[in-house]
Chain A
Amino acid sequence: MDRLKIERVGGVAGFGGPHLKSRGELALSDLSPADQKTVESLFADPKKVPASHPGQADAFSYRITRGSQTIEVPEHAVPSTIKSSVKDVLE
C-alpha cells in the first residue's frame, strides 16, 4: 500500500534531464523501523532537514513520492536503503 517512488536528480551530470534518469521504487515496509521513522519525519516536515554545507555544489537530491505527496530532500538526509534503490539509466 505505502509505496515510495524515488527519483535521484542533480549531480554534475544533471540527472533528471531528458536523457539521464535515476529511479527506484520500494515499499515503506521494506525499510527498517528506524528508516521508516526517518521517512515519516521527512514527509511530516521536509524543511526540517539539516541544511547542506554552505557552498556545496553538484550534490544529488532525492524526489520521494508517497501517494500524492512529493518531497525533495538532499542526499545526506536520505536513508541508505532508499539511496541504493535507484538505478541510473539512459533514455
Chain B
Amino acid sequence: MPCSCFIIPNDVLTKLSQDKKLSASVRKRMVDTVQISHELRELRNQAARFTSVAATRADGLVTLAAAPSVTVYDCKHTQTLPGTPIPKPKTSSDGSVKRSFNQTSKVAKFYEQVFNRNSIDDHGMTMMSSVHFGQSYNNAMWNGSQMLYGDGDGSIFVDFTRGNDVIGHELTHGVTQHSLQLAYSGDAGGLNESISDCFGSMFRQWEANQNVKKADWLIGRDIMGPGSKKKGFTCLRDMADPAAKHCLAPQPTKYSQITPGMDPHYSSGPPNLAFCTACVTLGGNSWGPIGQVWYRSLTGFGPTPNMTMKAFAARTRQVAHTMYPSTAAVSAAVNAGWTKVGL
C-alpha cells in the first residue's frame, strides 16, 4: 500500500526519502506522497478561488444551470404521495404519465424562453407530479412542493392532465409561492388564483401560438366531462366573460362584487378580466408586453403575502410605465383592464 499519510510534514517526508537506511520502495513512496500532497494543496486553493467567484456571481450561474428535472409518480388511485416513480415518463404508455411529463416540460420551457425563469423557484427546482391521485378524484392541485392530478369521475370532469392550462395553472402556484408568496384568502387569495389562471392561459396560447384575438380565454375547457357539456358548461372559467352561463364556476366581473370570505376561485374573476382586457386592448400575444408586466409585478418586488387587488393594479400600472416608457399603448391597455373591473 502506498503511503498516503499527509500528517507528516513535507520536509520530514523529503528527508526520509533520502535516508539510505530505508528500502528503495519506501523511499519512492515518500517522494510520491510529497508530490500528491502538493497537488492536493493546489486543488484546495483552486476550490477556494472557485467558491469565492461563485459566491460573488451566483445570480449569473442560475441562468446557466441545466433545465430542471421533470419527474412523474403514479399514485395508483391512492392518496399516498408521491406514489411509485415512473422511470421513463416521456415514453410511458400511460396517457396521464406522458401528458404530465410533456406538458410540465413545456411549462418549464415557456417560463425559461418567455420570462428567463429557471423552473418554479428560478433555481432549477425539480418539477414533480403525481398522477392517478385518489379514486375518480375531481381535482388537481399544488401541495406546496409538487403537483398532483386526479383522473376525474368521467362525467363532470375527465383526467385533469388533459388540460395544459390546468398544468400551467398548478405550476404557477409554485411560482407565486417562490415570489409574491400570496396568501389564500381575501384579495390576496383571489390574486393568487388569478395569477395562476393568467399564466395557465398564457401558456396554452403560447403553446398553440395563438394571438389574443384567436385565443378563447377559457380555463379548463379540456377537462370538462360529458355530463358537464350536456348541461351546457364548456369551461370552468372564462377570463373574457367571467359571469357567462357556459362557466361551471361563474365569477364576479367587478371588484365591488367580491364578498368577504369568497372562495378565491370566484374572487379571481375581476383580475382575470382585467388581464384579458389589457391583452385584447393592446393586441398581439398575451405573453408579450402585458404578460411581461404581470410577470415583473409577480416576481420583481419580493414577498407581499397580503397584497390587495388595488395594490397589484397600481403595481402593474407602474411596471408598465417603467418597462415600456416609450410605448404609451401598454400603459393605456393595463389601465383599461383595471378600469373595466373598477380598480
Chain A partners chain B: yes
Residue of A nearest to B197 (CB): A12
Asked whether any CB of chain A lies closer than 8 Å to the CB of B206, the reply is no
Contact B139 A57 (CB under 8 A): no
Q: Total number of A-B contacts with CB less than 8 angstroms?
A: 98
How far, in whole Å, are A19 and B249 apart by their CA atoms in the complex? Answer: 7
Contact A20 B248 (CB under 8 A): yes
Q: By the criterion of a CB under 8 Å from any partner CB, how many residues of chain A are at the interface? A: 26
Nearest chain A CB to B301 CB, angstrom units: 18
Asked whether any CB of chain A lies closer than 8 Å to the CB of B105, the reply is no
How far, in whole Å, are A55 and B174 apart by their CA atoms in the complex? Answer: 7
Given contacts A13-B249, A19-B249, contact A56 B153 (CB under 8 A): no
Asked whether any CB of chain A lies closer than 8 Å to the CB of B173, the reply is yes
How far, in whole Å, are A60 and B141 apart by their CA atoms in the complex? Answer: 9
Chain A residues with CB under 8 Å of B169's CB are: 12, 58
Contact A52 B265 (CB under 8 A): no
Chain A binding surface SS class: loop
Nearest chain B CB to A15 CB, angstrom units: 8
- Interface flags, B128-168, vs A, CB<8A=1, else 0: 00000001001111111100000001001100100000100
Within 8 A of A (CB), among B257-277: 263, 265-266
How far, in whole Å, are A84 and B79 apart by their CA atoms in the complex? Answer: 12
Asked whether any CB of chain B lies closer than 8 Å to the CB of A17, the reply is yes
Contact A10 B196 (CB under 8 A): no
Contact B142 A58 (CB under 8 A): yes
Q: Would you list 23 pairs from A and B whose C-beta atoms are within 8 A, ordered by A residue?
A: A12-B141, A12-B166, A12-B170, A12-B220, A13-B220, A13-B248, A14-B263, A17-B248, A17-B249, A18-B250, A19-B250, A20-B249, A22-B138, A53-B144, A54-B177, A55-B174, A57-B173, A57-B176, A57-B193, A59-B141, A88-B156, A90-B228, A90-B233
- Give me the interface of A with B, judged by CB distance under 8 Å: 9-20, 22, 52-60, 80, 84, 88, 90
